Amino acid sequence: MREFLSTRRDRIAPDQAGLPAYGGNRRVPGLRREEVALLSGVSVDYYTRLERGDLSGASDSVLDSLARALQLDDAETAHLFDLAHTANASPSARKPRKRADGLRPSILRLLDAITDAPAMIRNNYFDYVAANQLGRALYSPVFAEPAPNSARFAFLNPVAPDFYVDWDKNTQELVATMRGEAGRNPYDKRLTDLVGELSTRSERFRTLWAAHNVRYHRSGVKRLRHPVVGDLELTYEAFELPADPGLTMSTYTAEPGSASADALRVLASWAATKVPPAPTPQAHIDVGAGRTE
């Protein structure tokens, strides 16, 4: 909480918050604590206590005021509430949230029914736990790994900067998504271990993790440089599966008539002969380990 709040106020200049910038010799790049307190309608002592991580008794109305003062977006506001609720939770409630035990047959049938668009499912540890044939073909460099994981691939695989045309942007978004997940589930050892592994092995990850940025991963444009069909520009949509906690399905489509649409058709033809068939539903997936065989 301390790092999140301090990085949020550092990014807001007084004039952006509608405050006069008294003097030109400010010691902080953004808002001072007393300015955040003024904008939030709380005392300086109370805000200082919040920023130090003491959120005991912080009400939702105070958190709402704080989110407005710091100009937080929806993802950042949710993260603020997650951090506060975790801090105020009883010790017995501080345990990992329930995860899906596996993929239901109906979800597997849905994946297989999507034939004209790549579709994949990942868990909250960023493992790709299932994909249709075109999805495995699109992300073939990722699925070439023994346990496909989007975070490990992006930061530890040397081909990732070539595969992701916007690697800098993609890694920023990935870490911001992981930050949100860590805020929702801070006592999940497996997630903590993943963050620790990437922090140890990737300077890029350490830098991004220290920024405390948070975002939702719901829709956008992904640009890929595929080893078989070349450059692709695709629109992705991510759907959480409410009946399967921790699982998200993502689909990718191309603008009709575009070069990317043509490339997807070529990729589908290539996948029909080169990509192994999907596993059977009985042995389709181990959600915990992220295996697809």
CA-to-CA distance for 110 and 49, rounded, in angstroms? Answer: 49
Pair (165, 246) in one structural domain: yes
How much of the chain, in percent, has pLDDT values that exceed 70?
87
Is position 247 within any domain? yes
Q: Which tens digit of pLDDT belongs to each residue from 19-74? A: 876 555 667 778 999 999 999 999 999 999 999 888 877 889 999 999 999 999 99
Q: Are strands 248-253 and 219-226 parallel, antiparallel or unpaired?
A: unpaired
**Burial category of 283 from C-beta neighbours within 10 Å (exposed 0-12, middle 13-18, buried 19 and up):** exposed
H helix intervals, 119-211: 133-138, 140-143, 150-156, 160-163, 167-184, 189-201, 203-210
Q: Which of these three, 71, 93, 115, is where a domain ends?
A: 93
CA-to-CA distance for 34 and 133, rounded, in angstroms? Answer: 56
Pair (122, 78) in one structural domain: no
Q: Which of these three, 46, 61, 93, is where a domain ends?
A: 93
Q: Note whether 174 and 151 are within 8 A (CB).
A: yes
Q: Which tens digit of pLDDT belongs to each residue from 153-185? A: 999 999 999 999 999 999 999 999 999 999 988
Q: Which two tokens stand for residue 245?
A: 């906690």
Is position 230 within any domain? yes
Pair (238, 125) in one structural domain: yes
Pair (168, 260) in one structural domain: yes
Q: Which two tokens stand for residue 237?
A: 């949509």
Q: Which of these three, 41, 69, 93, is where a domain ends?
A: 93
Supply the pLDDT for residue 57: 78
Number of domains in the chain: 2
Pair (198, 219) in one structural domain: yes
CA-to-CA distance for 278 and 284, rounded, in angstroms? Answer: 8
DSSP states along 39-108: HHTS-HHHHHHHHTT--TT--HHHHHHHHHHTT--HHHHHHHHHHHHHHHS-GGG-SPPP---S--HHHH
Pair (148, 227) in one structural domain: yes
Q: List the CATH number of the domain containing 202.
A: 3.30.450.180
Q: Which tens digit of pLDDT belongs to each residue from 60-73? A: 999 999 999 999 99
**Confidence class for position 286, pLDDT limits 50, 70, 90:** very low
In which domain, by residue range, is 206 found? Answer: 105-283
CA-to-CA distance for 180 and 214, rounded, in angstroms? Answer: 6
Helix, coil or strand: residue 127: strand
Pair (191, 72) in one structural domain: no
**Confidence class for position 95, pLDDT limits 50, 70, 90:** low
